[in-house]
């Protein structure tokens, strides 16, 4: 289609938003009723990338525009891509993503243009509910009767370490596994399509090599993600993959002290503002600005449906920990159990008088 920039499409099946569907240029949310796929709710205009200091660039969540039936999905996707081909910015590369095309012209303009090209209109969006955007670890039985085992892979790095032979264990499994291996959108690994006959042997190898489904890690770590950054990525401004684990080592005691060790909180880090680990949708996020320095964001939605807000700029580890300590304590005491959210603005104000309202989604 000769697009001006990349164009991402994601499909999510509620209640799991494991692909962060709102971060996609074009998103399809499956609507299943009575065990049958009815069609898809459609979102458009998501995207995570931005540039430090350039206010014309920003992360954006996709907007819900309606519902289409399964047989209509390819036609809708094609016409959406064609609109970006024809109207996307070809002069300024940083302004060439689909989210800016929609924001500049308006969502009503896009729907009108899409309807004209399709020759039919979308129906009203149908009800749906996302509960989380993480992976389901351990064994899960698929609808085809085969089994799938999701391993927790910290920041997606498969390697052997002292006391944890992850790479070796996976090699041994690969020798007998007749199914597939799947990389998840959360940097984890699925040993997929395991028959009941081979499940026992693969499970023995998992146990033998101590491969982890994340149960021996804190909920914070299981919900963490980092981009590769230094030394692999030429765009990196700060560490990410190699640094986040050690930062979590220092945050986890705060959660333990506050009784939140098993509280699911999404935390993400990137070495630059291009958004590869989707930090703009995390509840706690750090975006690299210089070696050892990060912009700190708070308040993204646990289900990946709300952008975080910039809280502090260009801070190092000491200030990160000093900032998080009172917020975590306040969250432990005042979060609304059973509610979808808890407001932490008063805790934020303790450490910064002009702080914006901070929202943490709570899974009560």
Model pLDDT for residues 281-311, shown as the tens digit of each residue = 999 999 999 999 999 999 999 999 999 999 9
Name the residue among 154, 179, 149 with its Cα closest to residue 166: 154
Q: What is the mean pLDDT of residues 208-229?
A: 94
For residue 234, what pLDDT is reported? 96
For residue 337, what pLDDT is reported? 62
Q: What is the mean pLDDT of residues 46-57?
A: 96
Distance of CA 197 to the CA centre of its chain: 34
In the block, tokens 């914070």 appear at 220
pLDDT, tens digit, 9 for 90 and up, residues 231-265: 999 999 999 999 999 999 999 999 999 999 999 99
Q: How many helices (H) and strands (E) does the chain have?
A: 9, 17
Helix, strand or coil for residue 51?
A: coil
Residue burial 191-203, b: 16+ Cβ < 10 Å; e: rest: bbbbeeebbeebb
Residue 51 above 90 pLDDT? Answer: yes
For residue 224, what pLDDT is reported? 97
C-alpha 173/C-alpha 327 separation (Å) is 43
DSSP structure string for 216-285 = TS-HHHHTEEE---TTT-TT-SS--TTTHHHHHHHHHHHHHHTT-TT----EEEESSTT-TT-GGGSSEE
For residue 343, what pLDDT is reported? 40
The dihedral sign for the CA sequence 106, 111, 112, 116: positive
Which carries the bigger pLDDT value, residue 346 or residue 47?
Answer: 47
Instruction: Give CA torsion, residues 326, 51, 244, 318, to 10 deg.
Output: -40
User: Which of 14-28, 115-129, 308-322, 350-364 is predicted with the least confidence, judged by mean pLDDT?
Assistant: 350-364
Residue 357 above 90 pLDDT? Answer: no
For residue 349, what pLDDT is reported? 47
For residue 335, what pLDDT is reported? 85
Residue 281 and residue 299 in contact, taking contact as beta carbons nearer than 8 Å: no
Look up the pTM and report it: 0.90
- Band of pLDDT at residue 204, cut at 50, 70 and 90: very high
C-alpha 294/C-alpha 307 separation (Å) is 18
- What is the average pLDDT score of the chain? 92
pLDDT, tens digit, 9 for 90 and up, residues 58-71: 999 999 999 999 99
- Band of pLDDT at residue 362, cut at 50, 70 and 90: very low
Percent of residues, the chain, with pLDDT higher than 90:
88
């Amino acid at each position: 289609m000769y697009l001006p920039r990349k164009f991402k499409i994601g499909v999510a099946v509620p209640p799991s938003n494991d692909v962060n569907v709102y971060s996609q240029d074009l998103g399809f949310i499956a609507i299943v009723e009575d065990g049958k796929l009815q069609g898809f709710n459609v979102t458009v205009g998501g995207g995570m990338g931005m540039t430090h200091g350039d206010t014309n660039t920003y992360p954006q969540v996709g907007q819900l525009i309606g519902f289409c039936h399964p047989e209509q999905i390819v036609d809708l996707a094609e016409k959406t891509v064609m609109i970006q081909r024809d109207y996307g910015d070809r002069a300024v590369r940083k302004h060439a993503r689909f989210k800016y095309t929609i924001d500049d012209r308006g969502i009503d303009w896009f729907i009108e243009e899409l309807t004209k090209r399709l020759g039919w209109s979308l129906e009203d969006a149908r009800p749906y509910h996302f509960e989380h955007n993480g992976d389901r670890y351990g064994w899960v039985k698929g609808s085809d009767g085969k089994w799938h085992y999701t391993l927790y892979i910290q920041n997606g790095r498969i390697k052997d370490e002292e006391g944890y032979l992850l790479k070796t264990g996976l090699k041994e499994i690969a020798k007998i596994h007749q199914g597939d291996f799947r990389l998840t959108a959360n940097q984890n690994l699925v040993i997929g399509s395991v028959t009941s006959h081979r499940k026992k042997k693969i499970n023995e190898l998992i146990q033998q090599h101590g491969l982890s489904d994340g149960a021996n890690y804190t909920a914070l770590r299981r919900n963490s993600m980092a981009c590769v950054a230094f030394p692999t990525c030429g765009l990196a401004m700060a560490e990410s993959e190699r640094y986040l684990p050690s930062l979590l080592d220092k945050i986890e005691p705060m959660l333990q002290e506050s009784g939140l060790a098993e509280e699911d909180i999404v935390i993400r880090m990137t070495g630059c503002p291009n958004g590869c680990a989707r930090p703009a949708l995390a509840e706690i996020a750090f975006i690299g600005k210089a070696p050892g320095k990060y912009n700190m964001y708070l308040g993204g939605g646990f289900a990946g449906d709300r952008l975080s807000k910039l809280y502090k700029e260009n801070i190092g580890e000491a200030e990160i920990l000093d900032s998080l300590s009172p917020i975590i304590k306040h969250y432990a005491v005042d979060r609304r159990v059973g509610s979808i959210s808890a407001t932490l603005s008063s805790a934020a104000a303790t450490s910064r008088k002009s702080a914006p309202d901070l929202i943490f989604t709570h899974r009560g």
